[in-house]
Structure 1
């Protein structure tokens, strides 16, 4: 129940972000929330997870947005010690999404163009 409340709060925050503003960690966290079972347990990502990955790609169109999304993903990955790095790195490919934003705890986000 606590997780549902957190997701609802994150989604509410996401709706408050003005269109055209930089991508926020709230948006990234909300998009990747359905991916947690896959990221911590492996297997295949759920369709809602892949929808979230596609949404992040769509939101992160500028270099600044890509770097911001990268930093958000990196921060989220570091909050979950049970996150499997190999599953995280394979996520875009498993969802059929070509991403310029690596999902890793150690990515240098300043190198993203």
Structure 2
């Protein structure tokens, strides 16, 4: 009986460890892309700032809590900005502020996300 309890505890601990791997970001580019999608026309200077865009920026900030998550979100923002050649760098870099959100994840084509 005691041996079964010990094995059960070890299995639960192993599963918990696998679920919380250190150094692995939980933010993925699909999440970042879907949250930034309402921002594309604004960032390309073809439309006004949509409230859905600011909601997306807030969602990205909420998703990216750890350093690894922030770096992953930054890389995804950089990749997204590079997929749209019409994205204005100044507009992109000031987007969080325009939404009233303090966020240290830059939206830029050229940022160094590791630093």
**Which residue matches 1:80?**
84
Which residues of structure 1 form unaligned runs of 5+? 1-18
Structure (1 or 2) with the larger CA radius of gyration: 2
Counterparts in 2 of 1:14-93, with a 5 A limit?
22-41=26-45, 44-93=48-97
State the alpha-carbon separation in 2 of the partners of residues 37 and 44 from structure 1.
7
Aligned residue pairs, count: 93
More divergent stretch after superposition (25-34 vs 36-45): 36-45
Which residues of structure 2 form unaligned runs of 5+? 1-18
Moved over 6 A (4+): none
Give the structure-1-normalised TM-score.
0.77
Aligned alpha-carbon RMSD (Å): 1.7
